[in-house]
Structure 1
Amino acid sequence: MLTATIWLSFAFGSGLLMRLIGLPPLVGYLAAGFLLSANGYETNSILETVAHAGVLLLLFSVGLKLRLRSLIRSEVLAGSLLHMAITIALLWIILHQFGELSFEAALMIAIALSFSSTVVAAKVLESKRELRAFHGRVVIGILIMQDLVAVAILSLAGGVTPSPWAFLLLAFFLLRPLLHWLLDICGHGELVILYGLLLALVVGGGSFEEFGLSSELGALLLGIILSDHKRATELSNALWGLKEVLLVGFFLQIGLSGHPTLLTLEHALLLNLLLPLKALLFFVILLLLRLRTRTSFLAGLSLASFSEFGLIIANVAETQGWISTEWLVLLAVTVAISFAITAPLNRYSHELYQTIGKRLKRFESHKRHPDDEPINVGSAHILVVGMGRVGTGAYDTLSANQLRVLGLDSDPGKVERHRSEGRRVLYADAEDPGLWSGINLRNVHTIMLCMPELSAKLMAIQQLRAQGFNGQIHSTALFSEEVESLRHKGADLIYNYYESIGPSFAEKTIQGMKHDAPAQASISSKSTDST
């Protein structure tokens, strides 16, 4: 109990400190792990279980927001496999020829450094709500392909082969109606959370391990099976808080994986000089596949970090005697430092692109990728950006009043659903500077921003005003402190949820009372006559 208290105290203190200085709390959790390791603390089975559960829940949540067809795309297949092949080949030559490592050691270290972190990339994208934006889908697709390669390498390197009965796991796809039905009858309380835990940790993670496959792959697969359920988002949101807490254990475990010496830190910092080259290679490959500079830049930055899968592979290599324990500790420190470097960079990725984006534009292909085609608003006079519950309600009300309205959303799943329900909705990423410069807004007089993220609304307003849009910009706000920021950027009307819901509710009540007044008067009259 004392150890857990110390872990929690260090994690909270370090995470809070990082947040106060503008860095993601996960950097603080890593720092807490290193501080604890320096004071003689080590990881144990409890922390390993917590960390593993956090990773499984994260991958399950990613699966809930994924579409399988997004993997069978040239930018995903080439972006993952080509990048890995080039990286492994170059690193193997450097380590084997110049580092004087054995063939096996150089190969395993090169493989370990070729992966990108699924946990860090997915967590950052999810925190910015960009998992279903175009660059987010490309990143997740590449990461899943890397994870599949990692599973294959682990099976070969560890000498463990999947069970001959592993094909039975395909039955999960046949059980999809049953899994969907169980989610339907769980209600909206704690049963939803328990069901999510059961699927991620037991049905997905546990069953795959029993058949000699990756538990991470199992959790991801179960999430994918439920991804097209109408309550998939609700399930993901229900698990969000629990998943975030459990992931703290993962970052603490990385920090506690070894006690770094000064020489280890120096070598780890040298290895992290590869991060810009890693991101640059992703950027070049994706540009060659006709993605725009913005998409390639954001995806490359998201994939720049080294991976926790690399540590797993390095651990297998150390067990087989191919690399030394010193190399395992060095790789652990290298991965942790890469997290600390890339996490804050990804947090400000849009601002970074705004700074250097114009200089990168000259490298962009003249041929457009299908997902980057310009948007035609047609005869619409009003744009509703963000087609969640608020945006959908606004769209329906405007449409019912015979106004020409068009919806925009960065979630392809939502776009498809709205189209099937008869709404005119197009795919668009509101934070994309190229979006607003590529749209003819001559006939549009009002743009309603209904996205939940303040940063997305601020960036959209800034880009619209920079492009010379003089029409009305209306925006939602969750908190009172957001109102001034939105007004300062150029919003004309701001609707504050929490300040407006009370008066709106009261107005509806008054209207209902007026509507029922004759009936109430009749009842009152009858009651008086009876008396």
Structure 2
Amino acid sequence: MSEALWITFAFTLGLLVKSVGLPPLVGYLAAGFALSGLATVTPLAVENTEFLDHVAHLGVLLLLFTVGLKLKLRSILSAEVIGGGLLHFTITTAIFTPAAYLVLGMDFQHAVLLAIALSFSSTVLAAKVLEGKRELRAFHGRVAIGILIVQDLIALVVMSVTSGESPSPWSLLVFALPLLRPALYRLLDASGHDELLVLLGLLLALVLGGIGFDAVGLSSELGALIFGAMLANHPRAIELSRSLWSVKEVFLVAFFLQIGIGGLPDHDALMFALVAALALPLKGVLFFFLLLAFRLRARSSFLTSLSLSNYSEFGLIVASVALPEWLIPLAIALSLSFVISAPINRISHSLYERYSQRLTPFEGHRRHPDEQPISLGDTRILVMGMGRTGSAAYDRLAEAEPNIMGLDSDPAKAHMHLKAGRNVVFADGEDTTFWADVKMPNLKAVVLAMSDIEGKVIAARQLRHKGFDGYIIAHTMFADEAELIKEAGANEAYLTMNETGVALASHIDDYMTHNHQPR
């Protein structure tokens, strides 16, 4: 009976929330609290069961595994990630500790632990939002995920210290895991494209990463992330991620339900959560200026900061070990931060576009790898977004036009294309600062092949604002999105599947024309 109610409430409130433009996960949280409230007024007892806990945990592990599949570890080992993450943790803990000690009347040790719990940002929410916007590989997405990994490692240390348990000596075998990469690559190659591929993902994320790491006293979440990252450089890593998508999404619903079903808050818990929500801008502002200090541009700092302006499920895990009496207040604060953060992150690019003139003066003058080109030179054709569609368009156009350039918001992908002989540079078409500075004296045509609709709309609009009167073409999956792109300034926006069908038909037409002439 409980399972039926979970599914019914999650679907109903998820659909309702989606209809007003918010991410469905906000509805899943609301469903959890609604179920908790239902249990107080009806004989239908809806409780947080061991089954729900288990499914929720599996969802988190699968999410972190798929995040790892899209990570390049070399991008995490950077000053802004390690320095920004450690400095933010230190400063936030130093601010929240005296507040908890003086205002809440806690003893100093518990005040420090509560401050630590509040200093973390949500890996689940940030990864889900970035993944939904296809920005995990964008510069600001990788910085955000890198900082979250730093925080998760800190949480692991805190939990180990407060629980009085230490990792097993067998945990040192983690340092030998890179030796398994060739074997994992061969397994991935041998798994095909069907159910064996899904089972391999489950084996690595839940068994080797989850149970394996837990058995040696390490975080199962960290294990899932590491096993995913070990496969990130494999050509089929994205295919593996997509094969796990539906399973992961369904399991994650349980995670959000679990938070709400934990119980309704009392007055004190609600007041604590409200005050904690009012402190969220402090987290975001601190991240913004710390990242600026590490030479990031205002846009990258702003988008990263918004992704991290929330509270973390790891805070609940820390509390379950050291502060069990604070679980409900922290759960409410976490839920409220999700309700605030999720819709704001959905419109993050539009927010930056609106306030960019106020934010860019805070930038320093030193250069950073996320610096973008200020001139397209002799470029006549520009391809924005160098995924599969953009790369195919680039290669076809390059046969007739030597003055062609590709842009991509992933520096690693831009570098890969350069090594392959394509003229591709790092730049983000959703960045108003890029459009304000860039010069394009010879540009005649633009292909918008970015993965998300918001990027295409902003790029088309900014091109027209720059006075570009050439040809702009885009592709998209849905007719309503095509209309939005054309309203923003594109000449044409073709439906991807329709064009695929037309291309297939043209091949048949060519074959029939040249090989089956009328008798």
Structure 2 CA distance, aligned partners of 1:117 and 1:189?
A: 32
Q: Does 1:172 align with 2:177?
A: yes
CA deviation after TM superposition for structure 1 residue 252, in Å: 0.5
Is the 8 Å Cα contact of residues 448 and 474 (structure 2) preserved in structure 1? yes
Report the equivalent of 2:133.
Answer: 128
Q: Deviations over 1:316-336 (max 9, x none)?
A: 1136xxxxx2x2211111111
1:67 to 65, 72, 78: 72
Q: Does 1:193 align with 2:192?
A: no
Structure 2 CA distance, aligned partners of 1:241 and 1:283?
A: 34
1:145-294 to 2 correspondences below 5 Å: 145-294=150-299
CA deviation after TM superposition for structure 1 residue 375, in Å: 4.7
Amino acid at match of 1:247: L
Of residues 245-254 and 385-394 in structure 1, the stretch that sits farther from structure 2 once superposed is 385-394
Structure 1 CA distance, aligned partners of 2:310 and 2:493?
A: 39
Structure 2 CA distance, aligned partners of 1:412 and 1:211?
A: 36
Aligned residue pairs total 513
CA deviation after TM superposition for structure 1 residue 262, in Å: 3.5
Of residues 51-60 and 32-41 in structure 1, the stretch that sits farther from structure 2 once superposed is 32-41
Amino acid at match of 1:507: S
Structure 1 segments (4+ residues) deviating >6 Å:
none
Structure 2 CA distance, aligned partners of 1:262 and 1:382?
A: 61
CA RMSD of aligned residues (A): 1.5
CA deviation after TM superposition for structure 1 residue 17, in Å: 0.7
Q: Does 1:49 align with 2:54?
A: yes
Structure 2 CA distance, aligned partners of 1:418 and 1:467?
A: 27
Amino acid at match of 1:432: D
1:7-46 to 2 correspondences below 5 Å: 7-40=6-39, 41-46=46-51
Is the 8 Å Cα contact of residues 26 and 251 (structure 1) preserved in structure 2? yes
Fraction of identical pairs, as percent: 51
Structure 2 CA distance, aligned partners of 1:43 and 1:375?
A: 55
CA deviation after TM superposition for structure 1 residue 94, in Å: 1.5
Structure 2-normalised TM-score? Answer: 0.96
Report the equivalent of 1:495.
Answer: 494
CA deviation after TM superposition for structure 1 residue 286, in Å: 1.1
Structure 1 CA distance, aligned partners of 2:75 and 2:67?
A: 13
Is the 8 Å Cα contact of residues 155 and 162 (structure 1) preserved in structure 2? yes
Q: Deviations over 1:480-501 (max 9, x none)?
A: 2222222211111222223333
Q: Deviations over 1:268-313 (max 9, x none)?
A: 1112111011111111111122212111111111101000000000
SS of the counterpart of 1:272? Answer: helix
Amino acid at match of 2:167: P
Structure 2 CA distance, aligned partners of 1:411 and 1:272?
A: 32
Amino acid at match of 1:148: L
Q: Deviations over 1:91-143 (max 9, x none)?
A: 11121134321012101100100000000011001100111111111101100
Structure 1 CA distance, aligned partners of 2:305 and 2:486?
A: 33
Report the equivalent of 2:394.
Answer: 395
Structure 1 CA distance, aligned partners of 2:506 and 2:285?
A: 56
Cα distance, 1:396–1:156 mapped onto 2, change above 3 Å: same
Is the 8 Å Cα contact of residues 385 and 407 (structure 1) preserved in structure 2? yes
Of residues 424-433 and 51-60 in structure 1, the stretch that sits farther from structure 2 once superposed is 424-433
Structure 2 residues without counterparts, runs of 5 or longer = 40-45
CA deviation after TM superposition for structure 1 residue 471, in Å: 1.8
Structure 1 residues without counterparts, runs of 5 or longer = 320-324, 522-531
Q: Deviations over 1:188-227 (max 9, x none)?
A: 1111111111110001111100000000000000011000
CA deviation after TM superposition for structure 1 residue 465, in Å: 1.2
CA deviation after TM superposition for structure 1 residue 456, in Å: 1.1
Structure 1 CA distance, aligned partners of 2:301 and 2:502?
A: 46
SS of the counterpart of 1:130? Answer: coil
CA deviation after TM superposition for structure 1 residue 514, in Å: 2.4
Report the equivalent of 2:451.
Answer: 452
Structure 2 CA distance, aligned partners of 1:171 and 1:77?
A: 23
Report the equivalent of 1:317.
Answer: 322
Is the 8 Å Cα contact of residues 60 and 221 (structure 1) preserved in structure 2? yes
1:454-469 to 2 correspondences below 5 Å: 454-469=453-468
Report the equivalent of 2:370.
Answer: 371
Structure 1 CA distance, aligned partners of 2:372 and 2:451?
A: 25
Structure 1 CA distance, aligned partners of 2:12 and 2:23?
A: 13
Structure 2 CA distance, aligned partners of 1:73 and 1:148?
A: 16
Amino acid at match of 1:195: L
Report the equivalent of 1:470.
Answer: 469
Structure whose CA Rg is larger: 1
SS of the counterpart of 2:105? Answer: coil
Structure 2 CA distance, aligned partners of 1:107 and 1:433?
A: 41
Structure 2 CA distance, aligned partners of 1:276 and 1:352?
A: 15
Cα distance, 1:98–1:506 mapped onto 2, change above 3 Å: closer
Structure 1 CA distance, aligned partners of 2:246 and 2:344?
A: 24
Structure 1 CA distance, aligned partners of 2:122 and 2:505?
A: 49
SS of the counterpart of 2:323? Answer: helix
Amino acid at match of 1:152: V
Of residues 356-365 and 206-215 in structure 1, the stretch that sits farther from structure 2 once superposed is 356-365
Amino acid at match of 1:158: S
Is the 8 Å Cα contact of residues 435 and 466 (structure 2) preserved in structure 1? yes
SS of the counterpart of 2:272? Answer: helix
Is the 8 Å Cα contact of residues 258 and 332 (structure 1) preserved in structure 2? no
SS of the counterpart of 1:290? Answer: coil
Report the equivalent of 1:113.
Answer: 118
Report the equivalent of 2:338.
Answer: 339
Is the 8 Å Cα contact of residues 51 and 247 (structure 1) preserved in structure 2? yes
Is the 8 Å Cα contact of residues 372 and 426 (structure 2) preserved in structure 1? no
Structure 1 CA distance, aligned partners of 2:100 and 2:25?
A: 31
Structure 2 CA distance, aligned partners of 1:84 and 1:483?
A: 43
Q: Deviations over 1:29-48 (max 9, x none)?
A: 01111111122322111111
Structure 2 CA distance, aligned partners of 1:335 and 1:503?
A: 49
Q: Deviations over 1:3-43 (max 9, x none)?
A: 10000101111111101111111111011111111223221
Structure 1-normalised TM-score? Answer: 0.94
CA deviation after TM superposition for structure 1 residue 84, in Å: 0.6
